[in-house]
């Protein structure tokens, strides 16, 4: 979906740190998921 693609692009654009609370890869994945969810929620309003 478009929301998934936009989420992936956001995840690719950031450079998160890795620390004891999560790896950079985990943080990128979370960004992709949260951006997708936000866009999907906004599209249903």
pTM of the model: 0.80
For every residue of 5-45, which 3-state class applies, written as one string?
A: HHHHHHHHHCCCCCECCECHHHHHHHHHHHHHHHHHHHHCC
Q: What is the pLDDT of residue 21?
A: 93
Q: What is the pLDDT of residue 24?
A: 94
pLDDT tens sequence across 1-45: 999 999 999 999 999 999 999 999 999 999 999 999 999 999 987
CB contact set of 25 (below 8 Å; sequence gap of 6+):
none
Whole-number pLDDT of residue 44: 86
- Taking the C-alpha atoms of residue 33 and residue 23, their distance in angstroms, rounded to an integer, is 15
Domain ranges of the chain: 2-43
């Amino acid at each position: 979906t478009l929301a998934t693609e936009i989420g992936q692009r956001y995840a690719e654009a950031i450079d998160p740190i890795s620390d004891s609370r999560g790896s950079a890869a985990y943080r990128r994945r979370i960004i992709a998921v949260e951006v997708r969810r936000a866009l999907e929620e906004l599209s249903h309003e």
